[in-house]
Structure 1
Amino acid sequence: MRKPRHLSSEERALWDRVAERATPLHPTKQAPDRALSPKKAPADIPSEPLPSFRVGQKTPAARPHDVMRPLVDRLAAAPVNMDTKSFGKMKRGKLKPEARLDLHGMTLAEAHPELIAFILGSQAVGRRLVLVITGKGKDRDDGGPIPTRFGVLRHQVPQWMALPPLSQAILQVTPAHLKHGGHGAYYVYLRRSR
């Protein structure tokens, strides 16, 4: 960090002459005299005493890392874009999916192109309801400072479906009924191909 440079007496005299001749931009405002005003002391903020902590000790209370609502709640709150009667049948597992894609064991890099090809191909052949199985995922979060997502594909697949090119082909996404995989799978209701 550089040390502040102070003006010499000649530089100070030159500055004072320039300041006398300058016209203020806002003549009604008074410029604060910084040399005369004392700096305010920061307000004392009451703080709680920190608990004792040893290196290697686990944190006392694990808090969730997510600030967003759970995925199931977000999908449930999404507006119904399809026929309400068909939507109710789909959620109760009464509609049979015409095709299914199982993404178990795939990485994100492998699953994304498979999902795109499956959804767009299904729409091209005229399918309306398909099932995408992601699996529930393994509980890998060890409570460390960097959170590990529970079920990476389960969380990523709905986000991919909300983005182009899939968003133009999809009318509705909802978690599957228990007999079709429950929260480890999604019903995807497709738009009619044009």
Structure 2
Amino acid sequence: MTRHTPKRLSLEDRILWNRVAQTTEPLKGKVLETPPVPADDTMAELARLVAVAQEGRKTAPPPAAAPTLAKPHPARRIDRPTHTKLARGRLPIDGRVDLHGLTQSEAHGLLLSFLSRAHAGGLRHVLVITGKGASLGSDGVLRRVLPQWLATPPFSTLVSGLDEASRRHGGGGAFYIRLKRHGGTGP
């Protein structure tokens, strides 16, 4: 049995944590500790790296592999009339699963189980809620990997299409998924 040694925060992580901590109000009787400022050029290098990163964000175009479904493979999109009916509530959403707060491996297992049961039960349209992933400027890990998962063999045998949900059903934090017919025929 190995002992787990606590991981020490890097200087950059401590600085970031202290910036976050300064935006809060300390408990009664507690004082916010300030980290020691290194005497070497670490702070200057850190400031330079932050400036380069911020400059890169301002001038660089968004990455080509953005998590939006603006240009997915055409066969993977849900057709516009079906999407409109789902968005307006004219076509029922037969099931839904919420993946908030799960790790990728937990979400993958839950999603595969859910879609397998939904497909076996003859459900046609389901809603998968991934969340928008707005923490610390991220674009949402689950939101980004869901379309990739659905293109892999365990899911591709069950799913015939997907599209971002309407605002009413979660917008950028949710997806409509159309399941294949139970006999394996048709879209």
- The answer to whether the superposition gives a TM-score over 0.5 is yes
Percent of aligned positions with the same letter in both sequences?
36
Q: Which amino acid aligns with 1:128?
A: R
Q: 1:81-160 maps to which residues of 2 (within 5 A)? A: 85-92=81-88, 94-141=90-137, 149-160=138-149
Question: Pairwise CA RMSD of aligned residues?
Answer: 2.5
The structure whose Rg is larger is 1
Q: Which residue of 2 aligns with 1:61?
A: 55
Q: 1:82 to 1:180 in 2, by over 3 A?
A: closer
Q: Structure 1: 5+ residue runs without aligned partners?
A: 1-53, 142-148
Once the two structures are overlaid, the 10-residue window that deviates more, 165-174 or 59-68, is 59-68
In the TM superposition, structure 1's runs of 4+ consecutive aligned residues that sit over 6 Å from their partners are none
Number of residue equivalences: 134
Give the Cα–Cα distance (whole angstroms) in 2 for the partners of residues 67 and 181 of structure 1: 24
Q: Structure 2: 5+ residue runs without aligned partners?
A: 1-43
Q: TM-score if structure 1 supplies the norm length?
A: 0.60
Q: 1:165 to 1:123 in 2, by over 3 A?
A: same
Give the Cα–Cα distance (whole angstroms) in 2 for the partners of residues 80 and 94 of structure 1: 22
Q: Which amino acid aligns with 1:89?
A: K
Give the Cα–Cα distance (whole angstroms) in 2 for the partners of residues 180 and 61 of structure 1: 36
